[in-house]
Amino acid sequence: MLKTNDLGYWYDRQENSLFEHVDLEFKSGTSYAIVGQSGSGKTTFLSLLAGLDKPRAGQIELNGQPINKIGLTNYRKSHVAIVFQSYNLFNYMSPLNNLLTAMAVTESSHKGDKAFAADMLRKLGLTDEQMKKNVQKLSGGQQQRVAIARTMCCDAKLVVADEPTGNLDEENTKFVIDQFQKIAHEQNKCVIIVTHESDVAKACDHSYRLAKHEFALES
């Protein structure tokens, strides 16, 4: 579904590249972990896959079409759902309205379906009372779960997440990983998760390590 062709990125000079000549393939119905030392370039790599930044070398293809041909704005709107480390929810809205807004502005087969959105939030363990509160009144972990529910409401076949369990305890981490596995296996999406946690990486179908400017398959 998603392929990187000879992908390279550097911030200032090519001699200091984060990675170069990256040829990877990510399939739908599969979950992937990206691990690596702090500062190795994981978030940067994810931002290229999400169409938030342009590669310095090479290109990314979605189902055989270069994403710059699709147009990055269009690509982000129709094909990618992102879970940021800092959730990026609308703070002045309830979880329910966050989901309904995301469904309204992106591709979703459930536009306006409040019951569907509520069901997704319930699946992620939010109570009916919590889903109507302002999101600012929720804990970090609860907000993180709203951000994950949001990806489940939209049709985007690619879900990328940066440290989605960074703020969660062990029990919630297990739960969230389980949900990501369901998104991959039951919704037939391609899920790519950047993580520091080896338990999270092990739970994914495949794991890549970014080290010495290269991605190596670990499992």
Ligand X SMILES: Nc1ncnc2c1ncn2[C@@H]1O[C@H](COP(=O)(O)OP(=O)(O)OP(=O)(O)O)[C@@H](O)[C@H]1O
Residue 43 touches Mg ion, criterion: CB under 5 A: yes
Per CB under 6 A, the list member of 6, 11, 104, 136 interacting with ligand X is 11
Specify the amino acid at residue 4: T
User: Which C-beta is closer to ligand X: that of 29 or that of 166?
Assistant: 166
User: Which C-beta is closer to Mg ion: that of 7 or that of 152?
Assistant: 7
For residue 159, the partner it binds in Mg ion, ligand X, none, with Cβ less than 5 to 8 A by kind, is none
What character string, x for contact with ligand X (CB under 6 A) and - otherwise, covers 41-70? xxxx--------------------------
Residue 79 touches ligand X, criterion: CB under 6 A: no
User: Which C-beta is closer to Mg ion: that of 94 or that of 173?
Assistant: 173
Closest distance between ligand X and the C-beta of residue 196, in Å?
6
Count of chain residues binding Mg ion (CB under 5 A): 1
Per CB under 6 A, the list member of 13, 15, 38, 73 interacting with ligand X is 38
Give the span between the Cα atoms of 99 and 48, in whole angstroms.
Answer: 24
Radius of gyration in angstroms for the set of CA atoms belonging to the chain, rounded to a whole number: 17
3-state secondary structure of 30: strand
User: Which C-beta is closer to ligand X: that of 76 or that of 209?
Assistant: 209
What does each C-alpha distance from 190 to 44, 64, 68, 131 come to in angstroms? Answer: 19, 15, 20, 27
Give the span between the Cα atoms of 58 and 77, in whole angstroms.
Answer: 22
Residue 179 touches ligand X, criterion: CB under 6 A: no
DSSP state of 139: -
Count of chain residues binding ligand X (CB under 6 A): 10
Per CB under 6 A, the list member of 4, 30, 31, 40 interacting with ligand X is 40
Q: Which stretch binds Mg ion (CB under 5 A): 14-22, 35-43, 66-74, 195-203?
A: 35-43
Contact (CB, 8 A) for 201 and 195: yes
Residue 28 touches Mg ion, criterion: CB under 5 A: no
Contact (CB, 8 A) for 192 and 25: no
First to last CA, the chain: 20
Give the span between the Cα atoms of 146 and 103, in whole angstroms.
Answer: 13
Residue 30 touches ligand X, criterion: CB under 6 A: no
3-state secondary structure of 184: helix
